[in-house]
């Protein structure tokens, strides 16, 4: 290793420990920045030290969960794995992940690297890492104020993957955007998809991207939609159609709130409560097989896997069941609405919408979610919170769903826990997740009695 | 019972930025006053009879989709123009705004518009993205929304929809936003526009009702508490100099 890289690693590590000592956050991005300042080639240098393979995970929804499954699966096969922490998926965060994983000589000891990459950051990251595989979950509208429009995201991803022509893509062929990206890119690719209908009507928002053929511009015909633009499509004009996926999940059954299914003739009973986690599992499985990594312990691992990952957590506060969910874009939120409706019991719902840069400053996406279904959710109360609580309240008002708004989430949670239905759903977008999780954990510990 | 028919043009191609909110706002604010609203979505390629419509909504789409729309516009160009000249109500947002003009010149090609407004749009790589607050002489309450556009629209002699209080507007430099022409409001504001600006919604509804049922029709005011709170939240936030300074610093670091 070059002296310059060693020095960069040392300084980055010093920065990290300084941040921790000063208690200024978790220190997952600044060390990367420092390392890159000293050695612009640091990422190439360190990622080159990974012994076996590197895979990046990209896409609008499901990145974090899929990446976590991959990492866990590889670890269960006895591999040493590097992974970047949740949210640290931009260039600096990724460099930090590599730097902080080195030993005291600045060397890496890893068989695999599983790296989640933000779609915009992908253009800068992929050429440096030169991954063996790139897994793409799906492409849909997300934070349009940051991405501009879906086609811009698409073009960024295209630039990223064509800069690494040797990288094998693992794509969801039910998503016309992913499939067309793979075909146009000229990279080798492997497909996964689900050919049976597993999502209910409520999960399927009317809002979808690109239902027009990307080859001839004519409207596509769909046998059915999963959600968004995902589904079984073909073009009646030029004949372009969804291919038969190389990897698939079949015989999907939902029983006692949990989904089970078969892959490669093996039956799986994981702790999956929402159908999109079947996609996440399937894509990770396809990636493992594509990389030629072992999968002997996959069944055992996945059946014990905690899909919650702080994004779906269940708390018990004073005998009340409190579920915390993250929903940060229309597709994700639609899935949550559908999840809430699958529970027929009386419930309370708190929705917190913030508009920090992280969340997306533009909240117009709230109008792309079919909230009218909440009228049938058997809710005692729906409460809106966050900086854009009135935008959320308006969204519900224009569906004739009544609600109230609060400035004090904690007080509202306590009210619902003490006087409510004992069945509370808290749905938040990005910036509220950490604090709300912290607050609910604390209330759970205290038994929720103190005000 | 009074009834308005709303034509939603090409929702299969133009459906960005919560356009559905504008439709829903038209519909509900009529229903809450005991009137009826019929919304007809016209998918690309379908025939449109403008004589049956009281309000036309042309929403936003991506540049690629806008190009596809352009092909369908040729067929309706004359009818659409006649509708506008006859006082027909139109709300055109983002891409829809650009398409009402003569052309939209992107880095790759020039998309021909409807030429209903004497305006032109040119694409620049830096997109204009942020919250926006306007003062319009038509309304007491400021108009608030969100803008996200790569095009710079030059409006010539047209009357702008409003003066930019915070945000960027038509070109980022002119200090004005949108166009108001006869009963057409064309603007970059989404968010979506109408639910948070019920004054704009009612203005358009009243114009449409008067065109159909006579000048004497007046709309009863609604309570609009939540609407006002949502509107004031943004208007107040950007009247706060400290907040604006903080946001500007953040944007540049």
State the Cα–Cα distance between residues A129 and A56, nearest whole angstrom.
9
Determine, yes or no, domain membership for A158.
yes
Does residue A292 sit within a domain? yes
For the packed helices A91-100 and A30-38, what is the interaxial angle rounded to 10 degrees? 90
Residues of chain A with Cβ-Cβ distance to B28 below 8 Å are 398, 400
CB count in 10 Å sphere of residue A292: 10
- Enumerate the β-bridge partners of residue A268: A261
Answer yes or no: do A14 and A112 share one domain.
Answer: yes
What does DSSP say about strands B162-166 and B120-135: parallel, antiparallel, or unpaired? Answer: antiparallel
Q: How confident is the model at residue A144 (pLDDT cuts 50, 70, 90)?
A: low
Whether residues A47 and A151 fall in one domain: yes
Report CA-CA distances (Å) from A398 to A230, B21, B58, B250: 28, 8, 20, 34
CB contact under 8 A, B12 and A211: yes
| Contact in structure between A267 and A243 (CB atoms under 8 Å) | no
Whether A375 and A438 share a structural domain: yes
Residue A368's Cβ-side half-sphere holds a number of Cα atoms within 13 Å equal to 29
Least CB–CB distance from A391: residue in B12, B44, B230: B230
Strand B162-166 with B176-177, pairing? antiparallel
Q: Nearest CB to B129: which of A145, A368, A390?
A: A145
pLDDT at B58: 93
Residues of B marked as catalytic: 94, 190
d(CA B121, CA B111): 10
A398/B25 touch (CB, cutoff 8 Å), yes or no: yes
CATH number of the domain within which A363 lies = 3.90.190.20
Exposure string of A60-79, with b = 16+ CB inside 10 Å and e = fewer, is bbbbbbbbbbbbbbbbbbeb
Task: Give Rg (Cα) of chain B.
Answer: 18
Question: How many CA atoms lie within 13 Å of A74's alpha carbon, on the beta-carbon side?
Answer: 27
Q: Could you give the CA distance from residue A403 to residue A383 in angstroms, rounded to a whole number?
A: 6
The answer to whether the beta carbons of residues B78 and B44 sit under 8 Å apart is no
Q: Which of A288, A304, A320 is the last residue of a domain?
A: A304
Query: How many residues does the structure list for chain B?
Result: 253
* Spatial separation of the C-alpha atoms in residues A138 and A62, rounded to whole Å: 8
Q: Residues of B numbered 62-101 whose beta carbons fall under 8 angstroms of chain A's beta carbons: which are they?
A: 62-65, 68
A367 contacts B21? CB cut-off 8 A:
yes
Q: Report CA A445 to chain centroid distance, whole Å.
A: 28
Check if A363 contacts B (Cβ < 8 Å). yes
**Distances from the Cα of A7 to the Cα of A24, A42, B200, angstroms:** 23, 10, 61
Of A304, A322, A357, the position where a domain reaches its end is: A304
Q: Which residues contact A317 (CB under 8 A, 6 or more apart)?
A: A413, A417, A440, A443, A444, A447, A448
Would the pLDDT of A83 be above 60? yes
Q: Compute the C-alpha angle B15/B21/B24, nearest 5°.
A: 115
Other CB atoms within 10 A of residue A423 CB: 19
Q: CB within 8 A of B142, min separation 6: which ones?
A: B133, B134, B135, B136, B165, B231, B235
Residue B10 pLDDT? 87
**What integer pLDDT is reported at residue A86 of this predicted model?**
65
Between CA A391 and CA A363 the distance in angstroms is 8
Give the Cα separation of B50 and A241 in Å (integer). Answer: 36
Same domain, A88 and A202: yes
Cβ-defined contact of B195 to A394 (cutoff 8 Å):
yes
Q: Given this model, what pLDDT does residue A395 score?
A: 96
Q: What is the mean pLDDT of residues A107-133?
A: 94
Question: What pLDDT score was predicted for residue B65?
Answer: 77
Q: Which residues of A touch B192 (CB under 8 A)?
A: 364, 367
CA B54 to chain centre: 16
A213 at the B interface (CB within 8 A)?
A: no
Tokens of A199: 């999502």
The structure's pTM equals 0.77
A374-394 pLDDT, tens digit each: 999 999 999 999 999 999 999
Cβ within 8 Å of residue A53, ≥6 positions away: A112, A113, A132, A133, A291, A293
For B75-105, write each residue's pLDDT tens digit: 899 999 999 999 999 999 999 999 999 999 9
What band does A414 get if pLDDT is binned at 50, 70 and 90?
Answer: very high
Residue B239 pLDDT: 94
Mean pLDDT of chain B: 92
What percentage of residues in chain A have a pLDDT greater than 70?
93
- Selected for mutation to probe chain A from B17, B46, B168 (highest A CB count within 10 Å) is B17
* Host domain of residue A139: 3-304
Residues 297-336 of A with CB under 8 A from B: none
Q: Where are the alpha helices (DSSP H) in A54-175?
A: 63-76, 91-100, 122-129, 144-147, 150-162
Report residue B81 as tokens: 């123009």
Task: Please check whether residue A144 touches B, CB under 8 A.
Answer: yes
A362/B25 CB distance under 8 A? no
Our CA-based measurement puts residue A149 at a distance from the nearest CA of chain B, in whole angstroms, of 6
Task: Measure the CA–CA gap between A209 and A153, rounded to whole angstroms.
Answer: 12
Q: Is A238 labelled a binding residue? A: yes
Dihedral in degrees, nearest 10, Cα atoms A322, A326, A332, A337? 20
Tell me if chain A has a CB within 8 Å of the CB of B192: yes
The structural domain count of chain A equals 2
Query: Same domain, yes or no, for A218 and A351?
Result: no
Minimal Cα–Cα distance from B241 to chain A, Å?
18
Given a contact cutoff of 8 angstroms between Cβ atoms, the answer to whether A227 and A199 are in contact is yes
Q: CA-CA distance, A162 to A154, in Å (whole number)?
A: 12
Please report residues of B whose CB lies closer than 8 A to that of A390.
226, 229-230, 233
Q: How far apart are CA A188 and CA A334, in angstroms?
A: 33
Indicate whether A240 and A347 sit together in one domain.
Answer: no
| A399 inside 8 A of chain B by CB | yes
Q: Tell me what pLDDT residue A451 has.
A: 39
How does the average pLDDT of chain A come out, rounded? Answer: 89
Domains of chain B: 3-251 (3.40.50.880)
d(CA A445, CA A318): 9
Answer yes or no: are the C-beta atoms of A175 and A139 closer than 8 Å.
yes
Q: How many CB atoms lie within 10 A of CB A139?
A: 29
B222 touches chain A (CB under 8 A): no
DSSP symbols for A241-304: BPPPPSEEEEEEEEETTEEEEEETTEEEEEEE-STHHHHHHHHHHHHHHHHT---TTHHHHHHH
Q: Are residues A206 and A298 in the same domain?
A: yes
**Residue A451: inside a domain:** no
What is the tally of helices (H) and strands (E) in chain B? Answer: 7, 12
Q: Which of A243-257, A348-362, B60-74 has the lowest mean pLDDT?
A: B60-74
Contact B44 A219 (CB under 8 A): yes
Q: Is A148 on the interface with B (CB under 8 A)?
A: yes
Residues A12 and A55 in one domain: yes
| B199 φ, ψ (degrees, to nearest 5) | -60, -35
Distance from CA of B8 to the nearest CA of A (A): 14
Q: Are A333 and A295 found together in one domain?
A: no
A216 is annotated as contributing to ligand binding:
yes
For residue B191, list chain A residues with Cβ-Cβ distance below 8 A: 362-364
Predicted confidence band at B109 (pLDDT cuts at 50, 70, 90)? confident
Q: How does residue A274 score in pLDDT terms, banded at 50, 70 and 90?
A: confident
Do A280 and A386 lie in one domain? The reply is no
Q: Which of A151, A365, A399 sits opposite B62 (nearest CB)?
A: A151
CATH number assigned to the domain comprising residue A283 = 3.40.1190.10
- Interval B213-229: pLDDT, tens: 998 999 999 999 999 99
Same domain, A146 and A273: yes
Kindly state the percentage of chain B with pLDDT values over 90.
77
In three-state secondary structure terms, A31 is helix
Cα-to-chain-centroid distance, residue B190: 7
Query: Is some CB atom of chain A closer than 8 A to the CB atom of B15?
Result: yes
Note whether B52 contacts A: Cβ–Cβ < 8 A: no
Q: Which of A95, A78, A88, A108 is nearest to A34 (CA)?
A: A95
Beta partners for residue A405, in sequence order: A384
Nearest by CB: B226 against A361, A367, A394: A394
DSSP assignment of B117-148: SS-EEEEEEEEEEEEEEEE-TT-SSPEEEEEE
Q: Which residues of B touch A361 (CB under 8 A)?
A: 130-131, 146
Is B226 within 8 Å of A397 when comparing Cβ atoms?
A: yes
More confident residue, A309 or A339: A339
List all residues 6 or more positions away from A229 whose beta carbon is below 8 Å from its beta carbon: A140, A175, A176, A177, A208, A209, A210, A211
Last residue of a domain, one of A286, A304, A322: A304
The mean pLDDT value for B143-150 works out to 94
A450: pLDDT confidence band, cut at 50, 70 and 90? very low
Quote the minimal CA–CA distance from A348 to chain B in Å.
21
Phi, psi (5° rounding) for residue A405?
Answer: -120, 150
Name the pairing type of β-strands B120-135 and B103-105: parallel
B247 pLDDT more than 90: no
Q: Which of A27-41, A174-188, A225-239 has the highest mean pLDDT?
A: A174-188
B40 interfaces chain A, CB cutoff of 8 Å = no
Closest CA to A324 of A409, A447, A421, A451: A409
Nearest Cβ partner of A365 from B18, B127, B130? B18
Q: Give the residue, B207 or B67, on which the prediction is more confident.
A: B207
Q: Pick from A350, A346, A392, A347: which is nearest to A371 by CA?
A: A392
Q: Are residues A345 and A279 in the same domain?
A: no
Which of A145, A149, A222 should be substituted to probe chain B, the one whose Cβ sees the most B Cβ atoms within 10 Å? A149
| Residue B250 with chain A: CB contacts under 8 Å | 357
């Amino acid at each position: 290793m070059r002296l310059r890289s060693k020095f960069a690693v040392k300084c980055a590590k010093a920065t990290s420990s300084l941040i921790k000592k000063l208690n200024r956050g978790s220190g997952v991005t600044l060390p990367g920045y420092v390392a890159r300042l000293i050695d612009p080639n640091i990422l190439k240098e360190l990622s080159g030290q990974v012994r076996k393979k590197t895979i990046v995970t990209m896409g609008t929804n499901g990145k974090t969960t899929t990446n976590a499954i991959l990492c866990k699966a590889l670890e269960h096969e006895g591999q040493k794995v590097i992974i970047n922490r949740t949210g640290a998926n931009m260039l600096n965060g990724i460099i930090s992940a590599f730097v902080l994983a080195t030993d005291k000589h600045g060397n890496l000891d890893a068989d695999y690297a599983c790296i989640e990459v933000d779609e915009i950051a992908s253009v800068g990251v992929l050429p440096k890492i030169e991954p063996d595989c790139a897994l793409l979950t799906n492409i849909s509208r997300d934070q349009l104020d940051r991405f501009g429009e879906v086609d811009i995201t698409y073009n960024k991803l295209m630039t990223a993957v064509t800069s690494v022509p040797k990288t094998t893509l693992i794509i969801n062929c039910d998503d016309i955007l992913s499939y067309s990206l793979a075909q146009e890119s000229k990279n080798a690719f492997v497909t996964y998809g689900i050919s049976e209908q597993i999502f209910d009507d409520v999960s399927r928002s009317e809002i979808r991207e690109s239902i027009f053929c990307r080859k001839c511009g004519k409207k596509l015909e769909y046998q059915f939609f999963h959600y968004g633009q995902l589904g079984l499509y073909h073009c009646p004009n030029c004949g372009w159609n969804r291919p038969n996926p190389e990897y698939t999940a079949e015989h999907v059954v939902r029983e006692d709130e949990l989904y089970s299914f078969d892959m490669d003739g093996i039956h799986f009973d994981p702790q999956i409560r929402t159908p999109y986690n079947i996609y996440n599992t399937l894509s990770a499985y396809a990636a493992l097989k594509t990389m030629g990594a072992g999968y002997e312990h996959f069944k055992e691992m996945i059946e014990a896997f905690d899909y919650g990952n702080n994004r779906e957590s269940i708390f018990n506060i004073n005998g009340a069941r409190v579920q915390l969910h993250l929903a940060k874009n229309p597709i994700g939120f639609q899935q949550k609405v559908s999840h809430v409706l699958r529970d027929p019991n009386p419930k309370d719902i708190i929705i917190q919408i913030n508009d920090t840069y992280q969340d997306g400053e533009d909240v117009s996406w709230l109008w792309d979610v079919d909230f009218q279904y909440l009228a049938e959710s058997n809710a005692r109360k729906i409460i809106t919170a966050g900086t854009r609580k009135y935008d959320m309240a308006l969204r519900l008002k224009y569906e004739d769903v009544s609600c109230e708004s609060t400035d004090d989430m904690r007080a509202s949670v306590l009210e619902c826990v003490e006087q409510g239905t004992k069945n509370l759903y808290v749905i938040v977008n990005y910036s509220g997740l950490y604090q709300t999780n912290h607050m609910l954990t604390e209330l759970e510990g205290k038994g929720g009695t103190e005000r | 019972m009074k009834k308005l028919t709303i034509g939603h043009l090409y929702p299969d191609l133009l459906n960005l930025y919560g356009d559905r909110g504008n439709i829903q706002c038209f519909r509900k604010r009529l229903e809450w006053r005991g009137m009826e609203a019929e919304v007809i979505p016209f998918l690309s390629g379908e025939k449109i009879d403008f004589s049956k419509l009281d309000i036309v909504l042309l929403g936003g789409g991506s540049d690629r989709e806008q190009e596809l729309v352009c092909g369908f516009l040729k067929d309706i160009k004359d009818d659409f123009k006649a509708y506008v000249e006859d006082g027909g109500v139109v709300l055109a947002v983002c891409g829809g705004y650009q398409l009402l003009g003569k052309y939209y010149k992107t880095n790759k090609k020039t998309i021909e518009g409807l030429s209903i407004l004497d305006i032109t749009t040119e694409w620049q790589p830096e997109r204009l993205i942020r919250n926006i607050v306007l003062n319009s002489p038509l309304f007491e309450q400021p108009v608030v929304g969100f803008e996200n556009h790569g095009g710079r629209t030059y409006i010539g002699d047209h009357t702008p929809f409003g003066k930019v209080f915070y945000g960027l507007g038509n070109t980022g430099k002119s200090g004005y936003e949108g166009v108001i022409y006869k009963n057409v409001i064309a603007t970059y504001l989404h968010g979506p526009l109408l639910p948070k600006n019920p004054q704009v919604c009612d203005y358009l509804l009243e114009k449409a009702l008067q065109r159909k049922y006579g000048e004497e029709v007046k709309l009863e005011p609604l309570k609009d508490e939540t609407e006002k709170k949502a509107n004031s939240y943004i208007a107040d936030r950007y009247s706060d100099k400290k907040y604006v300074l903080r946001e500007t610093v953040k944007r540049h670091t």
